[in-house]
Amino acid sequence: MKEQLLQKFAEVFGGTDGAKVYFAPGRVNLIGEHTDYNGGHVFPCALTIGTYGVARKREDKVLRFYSMNFDQLGVIESDLDDLKPAKEAGWTNYPKGVIWAFGLKGMDVTNGMDLLLFGNIPNGSGLSSSASVEVLTGFILRDIYGFEVSNQELALIGQYSENNFNGVNCGIMDQFAIAMGKKDNAIFLDTATMEYEYAPIVLEGAKVVISCSNKKRGLGDSKYNERRSECETALAELQKVVDIKTLGDLSEEAFEANKDAIKDPVRVKRARHAVYENQRTMKAVAALKANDIEEFGKLMNASHVSLRDDYEVTGIELDTLVEEAWKVDGVIGSRMTGAGFGGCTVSLVKDEAVETFKEQVGKVYLDKIGYAADFYVVEIGDGPVIL
Ligand code: GLA
């Protein structure tokens, strides 16, 4: 892989003197969805698939970007002194946003750069290809300039750039999972305090299977921002009757006792999801620690139902993948993962059932939706590295 990347770099940018190869993972969230901007808990892990980058500092102020996933776009150029998001700049808005955010945090990027990327995360799949590019860019800048910035700060800068340069109001989960990834562990993160702990994922005789719906997200980002503001309004209504900072502060009982303060039935559903999903995530991690994987699976299933019925971010594609998965013997749990509205599901599947799972779910999906889903047996990997 490294040789191929360097060869392509030489072809596109001329020579490899001073060029280094880097990698940042993608992520999958096991449970705790749409809780990270509601002061709740999440439980994601980094994957061994992700984004490779070859980078080299330039003498001038020109940024030259090339993605092997979009060969047809060729080299895309920008000027360091003119960092603005532009529609026609496509994916390069992510690295540009991170360079811009470094400047705002007092870490001046003084020179241009040649940057070649290759991602083996399926595009637009909800496995955080954009957060992977953001963390990768920050990791590269730290290496090139020797900036004193921790991985956790790289995550926050990535999120800041996505919010303020790219206009997506995402929470911290994706960038955190990627920057802080640890092989064979998921990260139990409290987004209200940023306290976290690693929890080993030892699946004896089972695999993590990702089913990709191949439905592009499209309107996803605007719907995402809409869910956020529905939750913010519900929180403000609840705060009139109960002393809380976030929806994550509420137990199920406290929510039931105070929910009448929310003046709209749709917002009640949104807030109910945020509250119950947060509690479910804590219960799921406790179950995992007690080695009760069956219980963990049941909580994953309940998470999907809540995302389908209360949060309404699934859609026929994700529902078909999950509901068909539930019918397969040997499936411990299955749910949508990420923002929703397309993208992927995550399932825990016993080893002997993986082939049947792919066949059975794949067939029904193709019949019902009209195009195929893709299946990936994934492994949990580390955060960013220099190769
Ligand atoms: C996207 C966002 C995350 C998180 C999830 C939903 O992946 O980037 O911050 O909100 O959706 O859990």
Within a domain: 81: yes
Range 311-336 average pLDDT: 97
pLDDT tier for residue 297 given thresholds of 50, 70 and 90: very high
pLDDT tier for residue 217 given thresholds of 50, 70 and 90: low
Within a domain: 197: no
- Could you give the 3-state DSSP secondary structure of residue 248? helix
Within a domain: 78: yes
Q: How far is the CA of 339 from the centre of ligand 1 (A)?
A: 5
Query: What torsion do the CA atoms of 213, 174, 119, 107 make, to the nearest 10 degrees?
Result: 160
Q: Which of 45, 162, 173, 178 to mutate to test the pocket of ligand 1 (most atoms within 8 A of CB)?
A: 173
Ligand 1 atom nearest 168 alpha carbon: 8
Within a domain: 342: no
- Name the residue with higher pLDDT: 253 or 220: 253
Residues within a 6 A CB radius of ligand 1 = 33-34, 36-37, 170-171, 173-174, 338-339
Range from 107-116, 117-126, 155-164, 298-307 carrying the lowest mean pLDDT? 117-126
Q: What pLDDT digit, counting tens, does each position of 166-201 carry?
A: 988 899 999 999 999 999 999 999 999 999 999 999
Q: How many domains does the chain have?
A: 1
Q: What is the model's pLDDT at position 78?
A: 94
Q: What is the model's pLDDT at position 222?
A: 76
Are residues 319 and 369 in contact, defined by beta-carbon separation less than 8 angstroms?
Answer: no
Q: What pLDDT digit, counting tens, does each position of 26-50 carry?
A: 999 999 999 999 999 999 999 999 9
Within a domain: 8: yes
Asked whether the predicted pLDDT for residue 276 surpasses 90, the reply is yes
Q: How far is the CA of 226 from the centre of ligand 1 (A)?
A: 13
Asked whether the predicted pLDDT for residue 219 surpasses 70, the reply is no
Q: Where are the beta strands (DSSP E) in the chain?
A: 20-29, 41-42, 44-57, 62-67, 76-79, 113-119, 185-190, 195-200, 206-212, 331-337, 344-350, 374-378, 385-386
Active-site residue (options: 174, 190, 249, 310)? 174
pLDDT tier for residue 231 given thresholds of 50, 70 and 90: very high
Of all residues in the chain, the percent with pLDDT exceeding 90 is 92
Ligand 1 atom nearest 33 alpha carbon: 12
Range 317-326 average pLDDT: 98
The sheet carrying 41-42 orders its strands as: 41-42, 185-190, 195-200
Query: Which phi and psi angles does 60 have, rounded to 5°?
Result: -95, -160
Of all residues in the chain, the percent with pLDDT exceeding 70 is 98
Q: How far is the CA of 337 from the centre of ligand 1 (A)?
A: 9
Asked whether the predicted pLDDT for residue 221 surpasses 90, the reply is no
174 as an active site residue: the answer is: yes
Range 356-361 average pLDDT: 98
Query: What torsion do the CA atoms of 340, 345, 347, 352 make, to the nearest 10 degrees?
Result: 170
Within a domain: 109: yes
Q: How far is the CA of 32 from the centre of ligand 1 (A)?
A: 10
Q: What is the model's pLDDT at position 160?
A: 98
Q: What is the model's pLDDT at position 111?
A: 97
Within a domain: 76: yes
The DSSP-derived string for 129-179 is HHHHHHHHHHHHHHHHH-----HHHHHHHHHHHHHHTS-----SHHHHHHH
Ligand 1 atom nearest 34 alpha carbon: 12
Range from 123-127, 209-213, 367-371 carrying the lowest mean pLDDT? 123-127
Q: Which of 30, 31, 34 to mutate to test the pocket of ligand 1 (most atoms within 8 A of CB)?
A: 34
pLDDT tier for residue 220 given thresholds of 50, 70 and 90: low
Per the structure, the complete domain to which residue 134 belongs is given by 2-28+46-183
Within a domain: 66: yes
Ligand 1 atom nearest 126 alpha carbon: 7
Range 61-84 average pLDDT: 95
**CATH for 130:** 3.30.230.10
pLDDT tier for residue 352 given thresholds of 50, 70 and 90: very high
pLDDT tier for residue 89 given thresholds of 50, 70 and 90: confident
Range 357-364 average pLDDT: 98
Asked whether the predicted pLDDT for residue 128 surpasses 60, the reply is yes
Q: What pLDDT digit, counting tens, does each position of 250-273 carry?
A: 999 999 999 999 999 999 999 999
Q: What is the model's pLDDT at position 56?
A: 98
Q: How far is the CA of 266 from the centre of ligand 1 (A)?
A: 20
Q: Which of 28, 31, 42, 170 to mutate to test the pocket of ligand 1 (most atoms within 8 A of CB)?
A: 170
Asked whether the predicted pLDDT for residue 309 surpasses 60, the reply is yes
